[in-house]
Structure formats: C-alpha cells, structure tokens
C-alpha cells in the first residue's frame, strides 16, 4: 500500500464519520464499537 492510498483511505473514513455526525445521525461510532466488541469476543472464543 502506497502512502497515497493510505491517505485516501484515511480521508474517506474521516469523511464517512463526519457525514454521519453532521448529516445522518446514525450513531456510526457506536455501531462500529459494538461490532468490534462482538468481533473481539468471537476471536477470544477461538483462542
């Protein structure tokens, strides 16, 4: 992955979270946090 691709991906992720905060009000950070929690629990099961 080049630096340009990393910068574009970072800007895209920030733009999605900003659009959610200012326009959509879907609670995206909470949904991502809950998904990460479920994923970590799933991984700990296989340990």
**Which pLDDT score is estimated for 45?**
82
SS (H, E, C) 1-47: CCHHHHHHHHHHHHHHHHHHHHHHCCCHHHHHHHHHHHHHHHHHHCC
Q: How far apart are CA 30 and CA 6, in angstroms?
A: 24
- pLDDT at site 47: 74
pLDDT of residue 1: 86
User: What pLDDT digit, counting tens, does each position of 1-47 carry?
Assistant: 899 999 999 999 999 999 999 999 999 999 999 999 999 999 998 77
Residue 7 confidence (pLDDT) = 98
What does the alpha-carbon distance between residue 24 and residue 40 come to, in Å, rounded to a whole number?
A: 27
Contact 6, 14 (CB under 8 A): no
Domain ranges of the chain: 3-45
């Amino acid at each position: 992955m080049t630096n340009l691709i990393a910068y574009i991906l970072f800007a895209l992720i920030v733009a999605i979270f900003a659009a959610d905060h200012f326009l959509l009000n879907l609670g995206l950070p909470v949904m991502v946090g809950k998904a990460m929690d479920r994923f970590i629990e799933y991984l700990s099961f296989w340990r």
